[in-house]
Structure 1
Amino acid sequence: MPPMPTLQEINRELRPSLPEAFSSVRLTQSPGFWRRLFGFLGPGFLISVGYMDPGNWATDLAGGSKYGYTLLFVIMLSNLMAILLQSLALKLGIATERDLAQSCRETYSRPTNILLWLFAEIAIGACDLAEVIGSAIALQLLFHIPLMLGVLITGTDVLLILLLQNRGFRYLEALVITLIGTIAALFGVEVLLSHPEWLPIARNLVIPSKSIITNPDMLYIAIGILGATVMPHNLYLHSSIVQTRNYPRTEQGKREAIRFANIDSATALMLALFVNAAILILAAAVFHRAGHYEVAEIGDAYKLLTPMLGFAGASTMFALALLASGQNSTITGTLAGQIVMEGFLHIRLAPWLRRLITRSLAIIPTIVVTYFYGERGTANLLVLSQVILSMQLSFAVFPLVAFTSNPAKMGPFVNHSRTRLLSYAVAFLIAGLNLWLLIQIFRGH
């Protein structure tokens, strides 16, 4: 017989996700709907950051400049898939009081868990790579700071994150929501200044064009948008941070928490839809309309925006939004890193050490590529980071769908048959599209 676990081992197994923040956000006892909802707003906005990080900008710019408004439907479809998967993630966290990493550890063998942990760490590193490059490019565009120095400066953001973490989880959420609001406002102004065609925008948002399938080049960009939309680490992160609310850990309390958390998540992701659509609309209205069909790099877009829009601050607003996007994403990457390491391995590092490791793994390859290949090399590295993220996605999606469809794990919160069918369809669609995208990349598309 195996030895009985010690009390210390049992306590360690039952340790909640992000223990310093678990159930730390107080909720009002008021019966008012809006006041109760306000207490749950926040985690969804942290998640939405991954859907508008610098890694997504290149595909949106390329799609808009080359094909106008046609690929807006792909952005809408990607967003609906994201809402479904994030809904499953938050339900898993609230219903089981386990995040996705902890659920994997309790279900799979140790070798499988180590493999899943490595994939999750690679995904976090790839996302951090995009944030480093995006922030460094923004600093270069705004302040003419050399790219190499900008990469090094991005490593200092660990101090801001540590300060906010020590003050409480609500401070992190407030910063993220402020930065998201800044990004949305800046792009909102630029879209209005570009005078887009609203009727084609509305039509392409809801009606797919046949050319998306029949045109191989358009399909390639469309799959790039789909493949880089749902970030693997967001699924781990969301299943954890929804547990920061101090809701009653009863069936009724969990049902209410799931309801409000879904509203929070859907609202935030619709804002992310607005930002991604705004980038594509801006590229379509400014570049495609003027015949600039090959604008896919952030630096090129920055240089062309002011002269083509006829507004002196257009390029500056674009770069400020990029900087806000890069800094926003770094917060969620740090939290996700803590969650996957604690959940899979039960290893807890000090936040500053965890951040230092993650950021170092992102900065080192960026410095090497910047030194040898300059701006063009970092642009290629940005694309590579999205390919790496695409490769890791299914390793988080399939366990998530399986867990939330398991009655033994979820109890009364298990997925209904229609939700289960739709979830597996989305999981296989993502896996198939990412596989196709990778095949095309390695074939030298």
Structure 2
Amino acid sequence: MGKSLEEVHQSVATQNKKTGFRKILAFLGPAYLVSVGYMDPGNWATDIAGGSQFGYSLLWVLLMSNLMALLLQSLSARLGIVTQRDLAQASRETYSKFINYILYFLAEIAIAACDLAEVLGMAIGINLLFDIPLIEGVLITVLDTFLLLFLINKGIRKMEAFIIVLVAIIGFSFIFEMIFAEPELDKVLYGLIPSMPNSAALYIAIGIIGATVMPHNLYLHSSLVQTRKFDRTPAGIKQALKYNLIDSTIALNLAFFVNAAILILAAATFYKNGMFEVAEIQDAHQFLEPLLGTKWAPILFAVALIAAGQSSTVTGTLAGQIVMEGYLNLRIQPWVRRIITRLIAIVPAVVVILIYGDSVTGKLLILSQVILSLQLGFAIIPLIHFVSDKSKMKGFHISRTTQIAAWIIALIIVSLNAKLVYDEISSWIEAASHPIILWLTVVPLAFGFLGLLLYIVFKPFIARAKSNIDNHSPHHLKLVYAPKEIYSKKNIAISVDFSKADEAALNNAFELGGIDAQYTLIHIVETVGALMYGQHVDDHETTIDEKLLLEYKEMLSQKGFRIETELGFGKPNTVIPKIINTGNFDILVMGTHGHTGLKDILFGTTVDKLRHKISIPLLIVKK
């Protein structure tokens, strides 16, 4: 398994920091790169719409979204710190190749949709600040293609510094906007109390939540935390988890401030003046100067918008690299990756703007958020499964309380996003002149996504239950021995698969060798991870199999037998012959009733292919 973001992996040392403050400072940074996704242009439209239509009353939705995001991002950081795998790599080790291809495809669509929002946001900002036509502004955004290459070559700390500067620009811009707008503080505080004025407010609230938690940020955070080099002891890991939680809390609270400031600005200007229909970024910019009485208000608004788009596009590209390398183990030139991502976002934006004009940008922004909503569950649910896995997390799995909180959050987010998607598809069908096309394409696709989501939710639970039944048989398996008096073999290999077939294989082996022979128990791990990464795999089944093999050794050693073990990885009919031919064995003993995880070491399948590859006798024992 390759390292996540290999060019900056463990490039920031934390061990040599003597003071506590310098130690914390060494860990701070990754969450700031993540936080820009929570204040990207895609969030602006929902915040403006919420503030202009309902004043301060939806501020609590932003606060709730921020708390949800904080928990999910802390889980993402935990996965990266403990397992040294990003979310894409962990998914690749867990699911089948077919499922991983689908998850990769969905993640790429989400990143392209996010990039679309960032392209439009930057283009709108450039248009508002310099009066450059929107279509030209979209094309100008291609020029930042090489900015990421420059930053990544300077090191991750330089990139983090650049992003923090952009975040600071956004933050200071809205501090001044707040000063200009003079919001009513009592109403701001009242807005933090949960309330829902009407069904239209619920729709906006769903949009705010859907736009707040970004799926690509979960991939990104689990990788960025691996840029820190720290002691891989339990104490070192615990300290890294603590400092990264501090990092996430500070960064995401800054993102909450920006989103809240946008909503408060819309409430204090548009809602206050009865302008309830302002939802477009361009309209908000246009009305700021006459309403607030200063030319600096729209200028700072546009500058913040450009900074938000630029910072988000850098981190979006990093997420794209992480997803591609994690799911496909495919590394391509960073500039090629960047251009592909940007073109996927620019081409539809240019085509739609050319056909429908500038007024359609708001609808494109909303569409990008709907696409993100579709993908969100496919990132959240695997993440919760992974950090709840005791074996995968090596003792740093989340508590039962945290698991319950995480599943509640996942249920809320997925349900709200499902409603958003349902409403959007319903509106498309109502507005379409030929709805049958949508019924034959979009609707089946949505049901396909639902089926995949349910599979991802329940598959680990089923696999864990099956693992408990199939993989733990030695705890219940009573091996009965019938020793003989005549023995001829001195070095015997036995293929075991932790099923009842092992009893027959072991007894027959002991009949051949007796108490004085040397026995080697061979077990082959044939998970997807083992097939792809060989001995470097670190998945749940491998850990279980190692443990069970050692239990066999201990059990049989106590009975006086001389036992060695050999754990192989890959296809049994390829790996077993390699082990046999490199050892000094007299005979190989195999049972015919195999373990399904090994594609059944069955008589006539594995055996037929294997027997021609070994140069020693093969004893096949029927159960």
For the 8 Å contact 2:317–2:338, the answer to whether it is kept is: yes
For the 8 Å contact 1:126–1:386, the answer to whether it is kept is: yes
For the 8 Å contact 2:77–2:244, the answer to whether it is kept is: yes
Alpha-carbon distance in structure 2 between the residues aligned to 1:379 and 1:372:
15
Alpha-carbon distance in structure 2 between the residues aligned to 1:132 and 1:196:
31
Alpha-carbon distance in structure 2 between the residues aligned to 1:43 and 1:304:
36
Residue 68 of structure 1 pairs with residue 55 of structure 2? yes
Q: What are the residue-to-residue correspondences of 1:288-303 with 2, within 5 Å?
A: 288-303=271-286
Task: Give 2:46's aligned residue.
Answer: 59
Task: Give 1:4's aligned residue.
Answer: none
Deviations for 1:60-114, whole angstroms, at most 9, x for unmatched residues?
A: 0000001000000000000000000000000000000100000000010000100
For the 8 Å contact 1:28–1:35, the answer to whether it is kept is: no
Task: Give 2:224's aligned residue.
Answer: 241
More helix by share: 1
2:379 aligned partner, one-letter code? A
Alpha-carbon distance in structure 2 between the residues aligned to 1:436 and 1:160:
38
Q: What are the residue-to-residue correspondences of 1:141-290 with 2, within 5 Å?
A: 141-205=128-192, 207-211=193-197, 215-290=198-273
Deviations for 1:204-224, whole angstroms, at most 9, x for unmatched residues?
A: 22x10143xxx1101000011
Alpha-carbon distance in structure 2 between the residues aligned to 1:242 and 1:416:
21
Q: What are the residue-to-residue correspondences of 1:16-415 with 2, within 5 Å?
A: 16-27=3-14, 29-205=16-192, 207-211=193-197, 215-415=198-398
Alpha-carbon distance in structure 2 between the residues aligned to 1:138 and 1:172:
22
Alpha-carbon distance in structure 1 between the residues aligned to 2:228 and 2:190:
40
Per-residue deviation, 1:236: 0.4
- TM-score between the two structures when normalised by the length of structure 2: 0.68
- Runs of 4+ in structure 1 off by over 4 angstroms are none
1:225 aligned partner, one-letter code? I
For the 8 Å contact 2:15–2:230, the answer to whether it is kept is: no
Alpha-carbon distance in structure 1 between the residues aligned to 2:270 and 2:199:
21
Per-residue deviation, 1:43: 0.3
1:53 aligned partner, one-letter code? D
Per-residue deviation, 1:16: 1.2
1:407 aligned partner, one-letter code? K
For the 8 Å contact 1:123–1:388, the answer to whether it is kept is: yes
For the 8 Å contact 1:183–1:325, the answer to whether it is kept is: yes
SS in 2 for 1:413: coil
Per-residue deviation, 1:365: 0.2
1:74 aligned partner, one-letter code? V
Per-residue deviation, 1:28: 5.3
Identity between Structure 1 and Structure 2 (%)? 54
Per-residue deviation, 1:442: 2.1
For the 8 Å contact 1:232–1:393, the answer to whether it is kept is: yes
Alpha-carbon distance in structure 2 between the residues aligned to 1:364 and 1:141:
22
Per-residue deviation, 1:411: 1.8
How many positions carry a matched residue from both structures?
428
More strand by share: 2
Per-residue deviation, 1:378: 1.8
- Structure 1 gap segments, 5+ residues each: 1-12
Higher relative contact order (CA 8 A, sep 6+): 1
For the 8 Å contact 1:28–1:39, the answer to whether it is kept is: no
For the 8 Å contact 2:54–2:201, the answer to whether it is kept is: yes
For the 8 Å contact 1:338–1:354, the answer to whether it is kept is: yes
SS in 2 for 1:129: helix
- TM-score between the two structures when normalised by the length of structure 1: 0.95
Alpha-carbon distance in structure 1 between the residues aligned to 2:46 and 2:217:
20
Alpha-carbon distance in structure 1 between the residues aligned to 2:316 and 2:201:
31
Per-residue deviation, 1:439: 1.4
Alpha-carbon distance in structure 2 between the residues aligned to 1:426 and 1:388:
19
Structure of greater Rg = 2
Deviations for 1:167-222, whole angstroms, at most 9, x for unmatched residues?
A: 111111001000000001001110121110111211222x10143xxx11010000
Alpha-carbon distance in structure 2 between the residues aligned to 1:252 and 1:271:
29
Task: Give 1:7's aligned residue.
Answer: none
CA RMSD in angstroms comes to 1.0
Alpha-carbon distance in structure 2 between the residues aligned to 1:216 and 1:281:
21
